[in-house]
Amino acid sequence: IHNTKSVKMNYKVELSTFQVIKPLIEKHHYSHSVRGIHCSYAFGLFQEGKFGMDELIGGMIYGVPSSMEGQRTDKYGNQSGKVLELNRLCCIDDTLKNTESYFIGKTLRWLSNHTDYQVVVSYADPEYNHSGVIYKASNFIHYGMSGTDKVLIVDGKKYHRRTLRKDSPYAEEIRQRIDNNDPNIIWKKTCQKHIYIYYLDKKLKRKHAIL
């Protein structure tokens, strides 16, 4: 992804790694967490910093949708398995206007040109006062509302339910604590979320519009 300059922006977007993006997400994203996320692609938003060194000012993570693991994923008219979820997006507070839509647009173009994924799905959570304004500005389609779900609260920290399926010592510890009826582990019902989709495959988008 090449650097682009304009009147409003002097940022560049680059394919990065989960390890590079993780600290910024944990500090600046409203969830302050990457727990339970499957990372397929990570992108960084950079500006020129001190001594000409690039400074990371935004991060984005795409991954396999957790709700579709082990299931058919052709609900959006795509070939099964050709769906990515935009799991995390955040920028530091003092970025320029329209930075997030610029950031999203660059990553979508990269995915369209370098992968065979057909659809990107993302969710806006009303619990955090998000209605999806940034997705609308990035030409996503509102696809309705999700069903309610449940998240795991362990010692006051929120975990995705997929945590229990992991093959790790911590996941095993949680499973054992649940079996022992640990009062510090509870399930919490979540509210419905706005579903937004973006067609990377333009032929599929035209077909969807006709349908």
89/154 Cα distance (integer angstroms): 24
211/200 Cα distance (integer angstroms): 17
Structure tokens at 167: 């093959």
pLDDT averaged over every residue in the chain:
85
Give the C-alpha distances (Å, rounded to integers) separating 171 from 88, 125, 187. Answer: 22, 26, 15
* pTM for the full predicted model: 0.79
Banded model confidence at residue 34, pLDDT cuts 50, 70, 90:
confident
Give residue 140's Cα distance to chain centre: 14
Q: Residues 102-114: pLDDT tens digits? A: 999 999 999 999 9
